[in-house]
Amino acid sequence: MTPLTILIVEDNTITAMHLRQTLEQAGHTVTGMARTLQAALTAVKNQLPDLALVDIQLDEKSTGNGVATARELLAYQHMPIIFLTADPELETYQSAIEMMPAAYMLKPFRADELLMNINLAYHNFQSTQGGMADALQTGYVWVPIKEGLEKVAVAQVLYIEADKSYANIVMADASTHLVTTNLTTVAQYFRLNSFFRISRSHVVNLDQVKQLKGNSLIFLDGKTALDIQPSGRKELIKRLTVIRTKPPK
């Protein structure tokens, strides 16, 4: 396995020490052991890790749960995130999956299982970096079509929608591009800050959103709208720069 630098975000001291021992015995380097969102950000700024292990359910005193912590880490530096949790509830899984983690592991886990997931997450992440860098630098991605490839302007994407095991890229001009891979894989190429996953089925381009009305997102054309779940709406508002005042009557 490739030796990696790894950040641990875990508020349980025993679990954190066990993780560290497992990682170091496998030849990895732990860049930091953070218990809070702020400590995690400080650790990343001191040394960028190759990957982060993040407990979803950090203590309430940590100022933000694991999902919020992962969001802040990704805003600072794109990296694979592996979520850890002792909670098997579907609601916890749904809140985590919207962050498009590299893996999601239930505690307790075996050391070999953890190490294999780390290795897989890192190599999958590396395999997408060339295309992602191109999108960031040029503003375009290339989508396979029957005759070859078609250039798609990232800024003109309204949203990306899951279609069973495939994904549809919906454009501002109402055209669509079917991609024969799943939404999570496609979304890896749209890691610009303007793209946000509002549900398991949709990633939206916030630069194309005109209004958040109730539980609906209204796009710039004034016609296209997407429903958003209350949990997704809450996470989206955290992402937006909102003037905190009462709405007009």
Amino acid at 63: T
The average pLDDT across 129-154 equals 77
**Cα separations in angstroms, 113 against 2, 49, 53, 79:** 16, 20, 14, 20
The phi, psi pair for 194, rounded to 5°, reads: -75, -15
Range scoring the smallest mean pLDDT among 81-95, 123-137, 157-171, 214-228? 123-137
Tens-place pLDDT, residues 87-126: 777 777 777 776 778 888 988 889 999 999 999 888 888 7
| Residues 82 and 122: beta-carbon distance below 8 Å | no
Give the pairing type, strands 81-85 and 51-55. Answer: parallel
Identify any residues that bridge with 209 across adjacent strands, giving them in sequence order: 219
Reduce the DSSP state of residue 30 to 3 states and report it.
strand
Q: What angle do CA 101, 104, 110 make, to 5 degrees?
A: 140
Helix pair 37-46, 66-76: axis angle to 10 deg? 30
pTM: 0.58
In this prediction, residue 63 carries a pLDDT of 43
- Domains belonging to the chain, first-starting first, are 5-132 (3.40.50.2300), 139-239 (2.40.50.1020)
